[in-house]
Amino acid sequence: MYRVNKVTIVAFAMMLCIFLQTNISKADTFLAGGANGWGFQLNGWPNGKTFKTGDVIEFKYPAGAHNVVKVDQAGFNSCNGAGGQVFSSGDDKITLTKGTSYFICTIGQHCANGVKAAVIAN
């Protein structure tokens, strides 16, 4: 029968921890809307930006003035947040998954007036 000693197990566990820490530390945080934050001044954000799976988008805005709703492509195109995941703290941090993530504001006509963003993570 195959025997594994304690030193081998500890060494493997340490290597696994280092590997996981390295992958976690590679994630970046991006401010939605850049310096303007999440609101009417998105000015084409995130055009030209490159995102990775695991990166975090931080949505900063005055609580109550906006919200962030993570929707599918149809919800994004129609500005319909039904069934979407709602964030409303004014400082929402959302980790990106692989593919395109769609975000809109569902307060009043904000989405129709440009408070929306599609972010692609590779």
Domains belonging to the chain, first-starting first, are 27-121 (2.60.40.420)
Q: Taking the model in full, what pTM does it have?
A: 0.79
pLDDT in tens, the chain (122 residues): 456 677 666 666 666 556 655 445 578 999 999 999 999 999 889 998 999 999 999 999 999 999 999 999 999 999 999 999 999 999 999 999 999 999 999 999 999 999 999 999 99
pLDDT of residue 7: 64
Nearest one of 97, 87, 40 to 64, comparing CA atoms = 87
pLDDT of residue 52: 96
- Name the burial class of residue 35, with classes exposed (0-12), middle (13-18) and buried (19+) by CB atoms within 10 angstroms of its CB: exposed
DSSP letter for 61, please: -
pLDDT of residue 14: 66
Helix/strand/coil for 21: helix
pLDDT of residue 19: 62
